[in-house]
Amino acid sequence: MFEYLVRHYDKLGAALVQHLELVGIVMGVSLLLAVPLTLAALSSQTVSAVLVNLFSPVYALPRLALFAVPIPLTGPGTTTAVVGPVPYTP
C-alpha cells in the first residue's frame, strides 16, 4: 500500500482535493437549506409537522439509492455527487 501511495501521490492528492471540494459544497448547500427550514419549523407547529412528514421518507431510503435516483436528471458527475448526500446531512 505504501508503494502505491508513493507511486501515485499525484492522483491521490487530486482525488483528496476533489473529495474535500464535494464535501464543502454538500455542507454549504445543506446549511443553506437547513437554517431557513429549521427557523420555519421552530416558528410553527404546523410547518414543523409538514417538514417532518415530508423528510421522514427520505431517511427510509438507503443512502446509495439517493445517488442513483438523480442520475437520469443530472447525469453522472459532480451534480449527482452533491445532490445525493444533501438530504442526509444533518
Q: Please give the model's pTM, rounded to 2 decimal places.
A: 0.73
Distance, CA of 44 to CA of 5 (rounded, Å):
53
Question: What's the grid cell of residue 70?
Answer: 438523480
Alpha helices in the chain (DSSP H): 2-7, 9-43, 45-60, 65-68, 71-74, 78-83
- The pLDDT tens digits of the residues spanning 28-55 come to 999 999 999 999 999 999 999 999 998 8
- CA distance readout (Å), 88 to 9, 19, 47, 64: 31, 17, 20, 11
The amino acid occupying position 77 is: G
Q: What is the pLDDT of residue 71?
A: 85
Residue 89, SS3 per DSSP: coil
